[in-house]
């Protein structure tokens, strides 16, 4: 069957290739045929022989990753301008004598010789390495980090808190990755009921940024997703570059759902770690951060219930003691005593009221008597009885001025008892005898 052209009606004719020991292998690559090919080992050996003819040369590059094993140093070199990388191996003195300024992100020059390994990987064997500055990539990332920080995207004030218990956790991770398994396993151990909405995408390479942003946007639009985790295992500096991409960083900053960054290990620090709401040192740490520990929560609930029980018991005990104290008061032990005191108070008040009323009545009686005496002393009848008389003219008008009378005028004189008619025989200007 033709797997490359399923529509082919006829199968390809069988190709007969004799064993290697039964044929004369061609000396040159252009002499190989379908029935007389080179073995893979022969090809590798011929390539190695050709590569070994290349002399030592000086190469300029940027250090993307650096690690040591058994006194040897292995670097991942990246071209300063193009997307091209190479492995540099430093053995023996070349590795042990590596300068301290040769670090990840440094721009270096190295004297090296190309070498082809048995696994078919082409690499460089370094003899000398010198740091000559900072790599362009690291400079650009640092400039981007500073620009985003100036915009306030890294400010703590804009970071959103994680929910206590999310109803669903969005997980953006690599396809069937250990990071995904770590997050799910550790979160499930802490809270067995946790629900995950997983999006498996490319987490390195040319499509990583686009796929991660698409998955992030999809999970952010889901109303059931309360927190989103970006998880990726460790890798080289170059492998983690997608998580320092500006578009991805801004997508995380614009997300309405809290985002947890769990990229690489503790030493790794892509820019997305700074803009995420929570930075987890590893995917395992992220699994522990997003959900509470059910055992710890049960312990806290038990402790809280114990405190509540003790508080209620203490309150009831205090109130019982208070009631007991109230019962021991005299007003409750001998209530008749209080009634007796009140009866005495009522009796005293009645006596005071009676005395006050009697005194008031006596004073009012004296006042009435005095007023009556004054009225009686001022009575016209009593005045007349003391010898005074009232003189009236014929029209009844009282005579107050004797000089106004005329001789012969008839007057009526009223005494204390009876009255008499009189006639004016003379008028005097003064009522005092001469």
The tokens of 41 are what?
Answer: 């080992």
Q: How confident is the model at residue 100 (pLDDT cuts 50, 70, 90)?
A: confident
> What CATH code would you report for 140-291?
3.40.50.261
| Rounded alpha-carbon distances, angstroms, from residue 144 to 70, 147, 203, 245, 271 | 37, 5, 20, 9, 9
pLDDT in tens, 232-279: 987 776 778 889 889 999 999 999 999 999 998 777 788 999 999 999
CA 268 – CA 167 distance, rounded (Å): 30
Q: By C-alpha distance, which of 433, 378, 388, 434 is closest to 413? A: 388
Per-residue pLDDT tens for 190-237?
A: 999 899 999 999 998 778 999 999 999 999 999 999 999 999 987 776
Architecture of domain 54-134: Beta Barrel (2.40)
* Single pTM value for the model: 0.51
- The model's pLDDT over 384-395, given as tens digits with 9 standing for 90+, comes to 777 788 888 888
For 306-360, write each residue's pLDDT tens digit: 999 999 999 999 999 999 998 888 777 777 777 777 888 899 999 999 999 999 9
What are the sequence ranges of the domains in the chain? Answer: 22-50, 54-134, 140-291, 384-423
- Is the Cα dihedral 200, 206, 211, 217 positive or negative? positive
Domains 54-134 and 140-291 are alike in CATH topology: no
Interval 275-298 mean pLDDT:
91
């Amino acid at each position: 069957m033709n797997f490359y052209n399923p529509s082919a009606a006829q199968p390809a004719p069988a190709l007969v290739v004799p064993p290697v020991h039964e044929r004369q292998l061609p000396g040159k690559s252009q002499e190989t045929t379908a029935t007389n090919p080179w073995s893979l080992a022969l090809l590798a050996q011929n390539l190695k022989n050709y590569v070994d003819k290349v002399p030592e040369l000086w190469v300029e590059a940027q250090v993307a990753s650096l690690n040591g094993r058994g006194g040897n140093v292995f670097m991942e070199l990246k071209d300063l301008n193009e997307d091209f990388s190479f492995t540099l191996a430093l053995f023996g003195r070349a590795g042990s004598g590596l300068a301290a300024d040769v670090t990840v992100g440094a721009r270096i020059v190295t004297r090296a010789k190309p070498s082809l390994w048995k696994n078919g990987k082409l690499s460089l064997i370094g003899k000398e390495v010198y740091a000559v500055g900072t790599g362009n990539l690291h400079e650009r990332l640092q400039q981007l980090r500073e620009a985003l920080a100036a915009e306030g995207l890294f400010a703590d004030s804009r970071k959103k808190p994680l929910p206590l218990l999310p109803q669903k956790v969005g997980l953006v991770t690599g396809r069937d990755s250990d990071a995904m398994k770590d997050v799910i396993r550790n979160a499930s151990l802490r809270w067995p009921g946790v629900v995950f909405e997983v999006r498996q995408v490319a987490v390195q390479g040319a499509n990583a940024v686009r796929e991660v942003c698409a998955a992030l946007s999809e999970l952010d639009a889901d109303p059931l997703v309360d927190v989103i985790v970006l998880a990726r295992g460790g890798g080289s500096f170059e492998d983690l570059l997608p998580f320092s991409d500006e578009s991805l960083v801004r997508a995380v900053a614009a997300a309405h759902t809290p985002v947890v960054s769990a990229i690489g290990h503790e030493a790794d620090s892509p820019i997305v770690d700074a803009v995420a709401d929570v930075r987890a040192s590893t995917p395992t740490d992220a699994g522990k951060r997003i959900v509470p520990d059910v055992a710890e929560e049960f312990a806290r609930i038990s402790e809280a219930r114990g405190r509540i029980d003790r508080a209620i018991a203490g309150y009831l005990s205090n109130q019982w003691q208070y009631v007991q104290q109230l019962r021991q008061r005299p007003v409750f032990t001998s209530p008749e005593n209080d009634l007796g005191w009140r009866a005495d108070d009522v009796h005293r008040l009645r006596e005071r009221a009676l005395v006050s009323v009697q005194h008031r009545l006596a004073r009012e009686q004296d006042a009435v008597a005095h007023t009556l005496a004054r009225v009686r002393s001022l009575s016209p009848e009593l005045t007349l009885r003391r010898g005074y008389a009232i003189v009236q003219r014929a029209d009844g008008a009282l005579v107050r001025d004797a000089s106004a009378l005329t001789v012969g005028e008839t007057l009526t004189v009223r005494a204390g008892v009876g009255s008499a008619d009189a006639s004016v025989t003379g008028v005097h200007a003064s009522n005092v005898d001469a």
